[in-house]
Amino acid sequence: MLAPLFLTTALLFMGHTCYSLHSLLCKVRPLGIPYFAIPFCPSPISRVFGLTHPQFFLMTLDWQVRQRYEIYRLIGSDIFFVVSPWKVVLHVADPDMAVEVLAGKGGNGELYTRPDVYNSMLGLFGENVLTAEGAVWRDHRKITAPVIGKSLSVVWEESLTQIEQMIRYYDKREAINTSYRDFRRATLGVIARAGFSKVMEWGPLTTALANEKDDEGSYQKCLHVLFENFIWAVIAPSWILEMLPFKTLREAGGAARNFRFFMNEWFEERKTKIELDNKTTLGPSSKADLMESLVRSSGLDKGSTLETQLLSNLRIFILAGHETSAHTIANAIYFLAMYPEYQVKLQEEIDSILGDSDHNQTSYETHFDAFSSGWIAAIMFETIRLIPGLAVMPRQIGPIPRTFPRAGDLRPITLPPGIELWIHVIGLSHNPKYWTQPGKTEAESAISEFRPERWLPKSGDNTLFKPYNGSYIPFSIGVRGCIGKKFAHVEFTAIMLGLFREMGVEFDSCGGRKTFEEARLECLAEMENFENIITLQPTGEMPGIKWVRRR
């Protein structure tokens, strides 16, 4: 009895799938844009079988990281469609079109929105400035944007403090490897201090996990588990995950629940302190944390919508902010280990600016600008060009057709409703039309290689290189660009200053069993296989690195 039923169901599903794919192809073909038709949505299956034709690797997860610009070069177009039975996606490595999609407005006068599934992922802990749309987004931005830059003095100071503690730890333990977790721990300490005036001394994750019975250790374990299993926390509510028989899922559910608990506790603790100090009628000082600045600028009533908005935004600042900064810093460290000549340039710049003064006595107000157009800034921008926080930025067209410009002499294209546009951040930052340097060939420009000097000011100038508008968008663009960009820049600068004033980084030779070139090639190979979790992250173990005192 069941066999005919299953067979009928399978045939109906296949028929519906074929009909849906045919209908969407009919929608795309008249537009004259290259397209690929795939029978199912992206999954790991194509990678498992090692299929290399575009129609196969387009069905893999994170192909954008591995292909970079190469698929656009292959088809001879900076835009192309991927059509599956369920949706049509236009992949974009055209900077003019990217600017319009990210900063332009749709037919209703609002910015183009993200597909709902992506907002639900980022909205796991409440609606916030990253997930809200339209008028609600403007309310969130009105609250957060004016105050995000008021804690930069604290960011600089705490970044140096965290790195000083990290150096002290490794200085006593020769050949102990560092990792992404080390910098995640440092940036967590920075955002905790800048966000809530919460002091968290730096320590390796293993120590924190061993001390999980105290509040700080428990919080770090909670974040560690959440980052490692973020996709499960997005798929299902915490209470469901905690009821399932699988340990990993139960831990993911518990981590999501505990994160909310810790954030609520920090929020209430800081709010009570502000109220007790009776400071809400005064203007914030340069040392005010994010929450204090938010409360002072907006006021706060218990249980109000404003309180909910503040808490949701502080959660996303903590969760996403320290994660992206940590991985950018760690990636830069690995690049500097692979290209030690840039460490020398960086250290020479630090020495020339600071002279004999103590770097721990520097401040944001007096020293940030001095480093904002030199090697530290160039290293940060080049690191993010090669490995941005996100591989793609998805948007969707509203209910009416929209016309988009295209770079060069290409005619604009009008797209029908119901199409998703995926802005390929890495594809844009590897597009040779915009990254081949004047007077050089594409090969000489080494677009896929770490070359921070491409950003340095020309002789007689003090301004960093400005790429073609839309070809470099790791922080997005327009009014919905990342409001934490300056925060991240200050944090990166202070941490690089704290590290390389006294230290250098090199690959661990594993007792002489591994040469520098072997470690460098291993590192490059791992960087080719990053995947999207919360940010782009390595899928395997990166080579060991260690800190050494400058000679």
Q: How far apart are CA 195 and CA 317, in angstroms?
A: 8
Contact in structure between 178 and 273 (CB atoms under 8 Å): no
Contact in structure between 155 and 189 (CB atoms under 8 Å): no
- For residue 189, the tally of other CB atoms under 10 A from its CB is 25
Q: Which of 348, 316, 432, 352 is nearest to 68 (CA)?
A: 432
Contact in structure between 149 and 453 (CB atoms under 8 Å): no
Element holding 97 (H helix, E strand): helix 95-103
- For residue 184, the tally of other CB atoms under 10 A from its CB is 22
In the three-class reduction of DSSP (H, G, I as helix; E, B as strand; rest coil), residue 234 is classed as helix
**Torsional sign, CA 408, 410, 416, 419:** negative
Q: How far apart are CA 409 and CA 330, in angstroms?
A: 40
Element holding 348 (H helix, E strand): helix 340-354
Q: How far apart are CA 212 and CA 251, in angstroms?
A: 14
Q: How far apart are CA 183 and CA 54, in angstroms?
A: 36
Q: Which of 392, 394, 396 is nearest to 424 (CA)?
A: 392
Helices (H), 212-304: 215-228, 230-235, 238-241, 247-277, 290-298
Question: How are the residues of the chain apportioned to helix, strand and coil, as percentages rounded to the nearest 5?
Answer: 55, 10, 35
510 is in an annotated binding site: no
The pairing of beta strand 392-396 with beta strand 419-424: antiparallel
For residue 478, is it left (φ>0), alpha (ψ between -120 and 50) or beta? left
Helices (H), 394-539: 425-429, 432-435, 442-445, 485-500, 516-527
Q: Which residues are annotated as a binding site?
A: 482
Q: Which residues are annotated as a binding site for heme?
A: 482
